[in-house]
Structure 1
Amino acid sequence: MFFIIGIFIAIFLSLLLLVKAKKTRADKILFIWLILISVLQIFRYFYVSGYFFDHPNWLGIELVLPVLHGVLLYLYVIEITGNTIKKKGNVFLHFVPSIILLVLTIPFFQLTNEQKILVYQNNGEGFEWFVFIEGLIVVISGLAYSIWSLIVINKHQKNIEDIFSNTEKKKLQWLKTLSIGNGVIFILALFFETNVTYTAIAFLVLFIGFFGINQLNIFYSNKDALETLDREQLIENKKVNSNKISKKSVPKEKYAKSGLTKEGVSEIYAALKDVMDKKAYYKNPELTLVELAKILNVHPNYLSQVINEIENKNFHNYINGLRIKEFIKLASIEENKKYTIISIAYDCGFNTKSTFNKYFKLQTGKTPTDFFNS
């Protein structure tokens, strides 16, 4: 029964992606992954219900498909995190294990229908070598790609703090959980019967559906609800053309290596302090390193270097530190006592209560309530 639920949810989510306007490459990969899950669940239901034995021509088709789970998860993760594989040859390499398995299934497909049924009914008798190799490749591949996906996500989480001032909606925690869940499925495959694994896959589909609906941009085109990653900011941070501060402060020979002299660092930092003191750009909750670099007319890498060297912080921590200082200043004014703590925090540039509380305690060692009561 649970197979049927998983099938319908996977097909439903696939249709949502199919009709979605302005589909990204990540959307297309997720669509293929959901179709794969649907097909596997349908084939499993056919096997359990005995339909396969009435129509043996279908037997064996599902043998190659499970190895694609991990591959599609990984390709989806790298698209979401802005690390698109540009060379088609590199993408092809990820499908080599499935091609190997496809070649190994040729002897099975050469059997008569009666022989195929006997192989299935006798737990792979005569093809024990294939069952072993297939199980090994599927489990190793699934676990490897789940771990690889987690590494990419963790790297992404560190990178976004160098670019975005507010990262709460860009950390992709749901995608990390999805990667862990995918890995758990392949661990279950090592110790439990196939039905348990397919039940776990159905739960994975439920997870994708639940969190996908909450992450509105996955299944619907809604620019205002974009909660994963501002891809354009990341790309621009990598590609934006360099602008000199002055010929003295940034020597030509060092410029190609993104090198700055002490004069250059001091000049950029002075300009940064000036715009922050006078214009308070940190109050913009969507402020990014790229935007601030444009305001200062410097390369984002230079600005990031200056903040790291002088403030000993990344861009994210630096901006949120300024927001906390501004919050303490505003909250200490008597006439502002009529406003709630969180409303003042929002005025200072925070866009979530959890981020505000985290950085307030990080900077002061106390909660906002304890701080003002002490």
Structure 2
Amino acid sequence: MLYLSGIILSFFLSFVLITKRNKTQADYVLVTWLSVTGFHLLTFYLAYTNQASVYPTLIGLGIPLPLVQGPFLYLYTTLQTSSASFTKKQVLHFLPLLLSYGLFGEFFFLTFDQKVALFQQKGQGFEIPSLINLYAIYLSGIVYASLSVVRLVSYRKTLVHQFSNTERINFNWLLYLIIWIAAIWVVILFVQEDTLIFGTAALFVLWLGYFGIRQVQVFNQGSPQPQRIPVATGDAPETDGSADDSVMDSPTLDDTSPVKYQKSTLSEEDASLIHERLNVLMAEQKPYTNPDLTLNDLARSLGVHPNHLSQVINSKENKSFYDLVNEKRIEEFIRLISQDTHQLYTLVSVAYDCGFNSKASFNRNFKKYTGLTPSDYVKETSRQAA
């Protein structure tokens, strides 16, 4: 039942993704990855249920397929963490798969009865190709899992310099994908039991189905921004316990030192001018109220290069883009709740108007900036006013 569940869910998730609106290249990679995984589980299921005498060719096609798991993981991670597009050169990642099929090429030219006999003899005559394929699988898993981790760590370091809200960035999603693939390869390397290997793979698909549908920008069609909700009294819960409470909610600035910009062509005079224009833009147009504001968006509004804007923010404000924008949001929130009309709405709905897109992120940033929770801050200001 576990194998069948994995097979059915793989193809079902592929269907869900392929019918999704506004698909990205990463979505297409995931569709293909899930479809191949479903087919691979199917070939094992047929072998496990001793149906080699009925589907020998189909089962044989599954033998080299572990070699695609690593490349799919790396390509998906790359496309999710960069603006790069899929290129023909990236097809070379699947060259080991083609070479592996070449090793077993003789098998596919055997007659039906010869293929059945080969499975009954447990692959006798193909010992060397099988051994080469096995070591290639070991190497592929180690190399691609490592490359994916490096890619993800590098991406993590750049987030605070690019995004003003990070709750919708699929960092945990990608991290767990890598962990799952690594776990499967641990079973392959140290357990070497097919039932456990494919059982782990089936569990991976089940996890992917459960966790994936909860991720923004993966399986769903996108959700509208919450609207301001009128109430008689209002308070923002200190936490919402949602999946957005992740390591991505409170990123830290990795490097604001002058050493980082030693090779920059931006003069001090130009930096000061950009900083002045940035302050005017923030005060007059309030771009931070856009929950999806990015460094590129802000740089485009100012007509400057994103790298120069990042340098100005780091050097003049001594903070990251993320911290700057969220501080502006907190300041706007404080300004709005000082008005009498704020009592008509919940605190969190006011926070949404200021550019936050989750209660958890709002509460965390507010306490970081003021040292108080939103409700405590309101109580304190009310007490002082009285």
TM range (shorter): 0.7 to 0.9
Give matches, 1:253-264, under 5 Å. 259-264=265-270
Write the distance in 2 (CA, Å) between the matches of 1:65 and 1:279: 54
2:168 matched to which residue of 1? 169
Write the distance in 2 (CA, Å) between the matches of 1:41 and 1:122: 22
Write the distance in 1 (CA, Å) between the matches of 2:91 and 2:297: 37
* TM-score normalised by the chain length of structure 2: 0.77
Shift of 1:190: 1.9
Secondary structure, counterpart of 1:282 in structure 2? helix
Write the distance in 2 (CA, Å) between the matches of 1:123 and 1:51: 14
Write the distance in 1 (CA, Å) between the matches of 2:91 and 2:25: 16
Write the distance in 1 (CA, Å) between the matches of 2:276 and 2:139: 53
2:50 matched to which residue of 1? 50
Note the alpha carbon deviations across 1:131-151, whole angstroms, 9 max, x for none.
433222212212321232232
Does the C-alpha gap of structure 1 residues 284 and 57 become closer, same or farther in structure 2, counting only changes over 3 Å? closer
2:317 matched to which residue of 1? 311
Higher helix proportion? 1
Give me the CA root mean square deviation. Answer: 3.0
CA contact under 8 A between 2:313 and 2:320: conserved in structure 1?
A: yes
Secondary structure, counterpart of 2:52 in structure 1? helix
Worse overlay, 148-157 or 72-81: 148-157
Give matches, 1:60-209, under 5 Å. 60-84=60-84, 87-88=87-88, 90-106=89-105, 108=107, 120-121=119-120, 124-192=123-191, 193-209=193-209
* TM-score normalised by the chain length of structure 1: 0.79
Write the distance in 2 (CA, Å) between the matches of 1:21 and 1:286: 19
Does the C-alpha gap of structure 1 residues 143 and 11 become closer, same or farther in structure 2, counting only changes over 3 Å? same
The size of the alignment, in residue pairs, is: 342
Shift of 1:297: 2.7
Q: AA paired with 1:361?
A: K
Q: AA paired with 1:184?
A: A
Shift of 1:122: 5.7
Q: AA paired with 2:148?
A: S
Identical pairs, percent = 38
Shift of 1:213: 2.7
Query: Highest relative contact order (Cα 8 Å, sep 6+), 1 or 2?
Result: 2
User: Unaligned stretches of 5+ in structure 1?
Assistant: 226-256
1:254 matched to which residue of 2? none
Worse overlay, 344-353 or 196-205: 344-353
User: Unaligned stretches of 5+ in structure 2?
Assistant: 226-262, 381-386
Write the distance in 2 (CA, Å) between the matches of 1:221 and 1:336: 32
CA contact under 8 A between 1:147 and 1:183: conserved in structure 2?
A: no
CA contact under 8 A between 1:29 and 1:72: conserved in structure 2?
A: yes
CA contact under 8 A between 2:170 and 2:216: conserved in structure 1?
A: no
Shift of 1:76: 1.8
Note the alpha carbon deviations across 1:178-212, whole angstroms, 9 max, x for none.
12111111111123311111111112212222233
Which residue of the other structure, out of 316, 326, 341, is the alignment partner of 1:320?
A: 326
